[in-house]
Amino acid sequence: MTKVAVISTKDRVYGVNKSFELLGINPVKDKNVIFKPNFNTADPPPASSSMETIKQIIIKLKEMGAKSITLAERSGPVDTAKTFEQIGINKLARDLEFNVVNLEKLPKEDFILKNPEGSHWKNGFLFPKIYDKAECIVETCCLKTHMFGGHFTISLKNAVGLVPKTYMRELHSSRKYQRDMIAEINGAYKPNLIIVDGILTFVDRGPMQGTIVEADAFIAGTDKVAIDAVGVAILRILGTTPEVTNGPIFEQAQIKR
């Protein structure tokens, strides 16, 4: 049975620590950990991951015996290197001694083609080998709506940052199948731990700006579908868009696929 931890808190440090405590797992000990945040832009939470949350997750991963930690991410549509600098991740990496990889700067040979059966991607998509070969993956995500066809951004939508920007035109122009295509990216890998910082949320618009509501929640687990189902439920409780509100949660295209 899938376990999902839901924590009510206004304190990000507490939320991170309680997430690990309630899940009661340690998938990172003696592992080289690849860490995926949400750095769509350098805008403050909930547009992008909170630096306080990232810092505490890194501290916990080190305490739990991670052999190494590498944060690997790309932004979009803005320049990733500028986002890293503006958001302060390079300084944090120096202070806490972890690695940072700008996926936008990787050469083509550092990606592998994924073309799953029945995919809605025309010719598949490139996926970074650093994630394809990872022995342990940890993600931290935001909780928000998405006005450009995704409907919501939680853990499943967070995977879009792993696919090169050259594929974004195909994704965003596919209004009918965009959410299915998001789900298909997630078939390429399986995180060992996911922590959603939902202290602040967008209940409309998004991903960069929207109406902010204090959800005061953390969600954690290992199953992206279960986590996103809980996240959608929280958005519905807060009052959100018709696209996120209507129909059974498990009929949402990102989740259903």
133-147 average pLDDT score: 98
**Which amino acid does the sequence have at 158?**
N
Distance, CA of 252 to CA of 254 (rounded, Å): 6
pTM of the model: 0.97
**Which amino acid does the sequence have at 85?**
E
pLDDT at 175: 84
For the chain, how many structural domains are there in total?
1
Residue 121 · residue 181 · CB < 8 Å: yes
Domain of residue 143: give its range.
Answer: 4-256
Instruction: State the residue for tokens 């940072």.
Output: 100
140-146 average pLDDT score: 98
Q: What are phi and psi of 2, to 5 degrees?
A: -75, 130
Residue 35 · residue 58 · CB < 8 Å: yes
Q: For residue 1, what pLDDT band results from cuts at 50, 70 and 90?
A: confident
How confident is the prediction for the chain on average, in pLDDT?
98
Instruction: Give the DSSP letter string of the chain.
Output: ---EEEEE-S-HHHHHHHHHHHHT----BT-EEEEE---SSSPPTTSS--HHHHHHHHHHHHHTTBSEEEEEE--SSS-HHHHHHHHTHHHHHHHHT-EEEEGGG--GGGEEEE--TT-SSSS-EEEEHHHHT-SEEEEEEEEEEETTTTEEESSTGGGGGGS-GGGHHHHHH-TTTHHHHHHHHHTT---SEEEEEEEEEESSS-SSS--EEEEEEEEEES-HHHHHHHHHHHHHHH---HHHHSS-GGGSHHHH-
CATH code for position 12: 3.40.50.11440
Residue 80 · residue 102 · CB < 8 Å: yes
Percent of the chain with pLDDT over 90: 97
Task: List, for residues 183-235, the tens digit of each pLDDT value.
Answer: 999 999 999 999 999 999 999 999 999 999 999 999 999 999 999 999 999 99
